[in-house]
Structure 1
Amino acid sequence: MGPSTASSPAATSNSSKAKPLSSLLEMSDMELKSQINDNAKWKKRSEDTTLNVHFAELDDQCSKACNLLLIGSSMLERFKTTGHDLNLGLKPHVFNAGVGGDTIPNVLYRMSLGLLQKAKYQAKVETVVVNIGSNDLKKPGRSLSEVQLYQFALHLETLRRTFPRIVVTALFYKKDVRLSDVDRSNEDLRRIVSGFPGVEWLAAPQMDLIHHYEDHVHLNRAGYEVWDKWLVEKLGI
């Protein structure tokens, strides 16, 4: 996917529309690409990190060894820092494509730059771990909207067509968002996952909002140790 239609703020869609989720399974690759471009949203850090960091990593250390892709926001990106020495940290077999602050449309934007194709052809990715949607929960009393859920489904269908195994991990609670909003969002995400053949859902491990969090949203070292162990055991990776 080229950056021509989603490479600047001007290209950000102002009219994202949700289609029936079942239609995604029947879309041609060109139709899916068009939907991604229509729903993608530019963010400077998303673009800079993709072009200057992630592409460089794929050109270098990931060309042979990477078989695990982590894609999402800072929750996964911080395996590079807070959890750097854990199983999913800075390891030769892990390609971490997390970007802090990314919403679902921001991840779609990064896809439009060709991130997945580059990962497919320059690495040997077998499993993709997904964690997105937390940054889309911003309005108190509201779970993920219909449009946001559709954008999430676009993300899943694109990954499903590109890699053999996709695992979606549930959203964690946030201190600035009602727990019920996170619960409803996870229920909706899980429902969507169930409609995509070959895509797996993994619940989040139990976390203590006091002892496992660094701030209102991010896990601390103890939290990443719990999540790392959970992912390795549940996924067999």
Structure 2
Amino acid sequence: MALRLIQVNIKARDDSALGRFWADALGWDVSSEGPGVTNLAPAGATWPDPAAFYIDFVAVPDPETVKYRVHLDLATASAAHQAELVARLKDLGATPADVGQGDVPWTVLADPEGNVFCVLEPREIYRDTGPIAAVVVDCADPRAMARFWDEALDWTLHEASDDHATLRSADGAGPFLELQRAPDVRGWWNRVHVDLLPHPVDGKEAEVARLRALGAVDVDLGQGDVPWTVLADPEGNEFCVLGRA
């Protein structure tokens, strides 16, 4: 059995509008829309294609909008591409964001609901990730978090230091998972979290038990009776292990 980081889940006031922004931003398709849920997939991908990465937007009545510990980094192929992408994103409704980044070669923006993300300068490491270079998680101890996620996922650990750690799928497909050191103590639930897909999906309960043994804990967000299980990693970041609907 194995677990794959298959998608990010983003809470939204208006899932449809935010989904349209990101579909236009990434050049992806709105794969399905239902009451309160909008799903995005790369063009031509069919869930759950193991080579693809997805985004779900889920409407909640009052999504937290003050502090984030999870964000997306977008990849670019050249300086001209970075400038064009930033301009296009602003035309779509993104706005510049100051998170104390100072003078850096990447551009920090916020989507129409205030979710912060970065448009990176061209980097060779991200040349084959697709439009999303990385899912970035702030944490107090990247080394410890890397140990947890390295054991949790059927992925490859590429780097682990006191300040930064990176993992990616063993087959080299899709974005990186990056863990970066941040000084703040977490005291809120995340508006953005990752979803894990077991293979086979019927092995969910065994995978959940394995994650608990690694240090994950159960979380009650009021989800009720659902086919997925909500857990938190050792630093309290929520994630879901998906099951058969």
Tell me, yes or no, whether TM beats 0.5: no
- Higher-strand-fraction structure: 2
Please identify which structure carries the higher helix content.
Answer: 1
TM-score (norm 1): 0.28
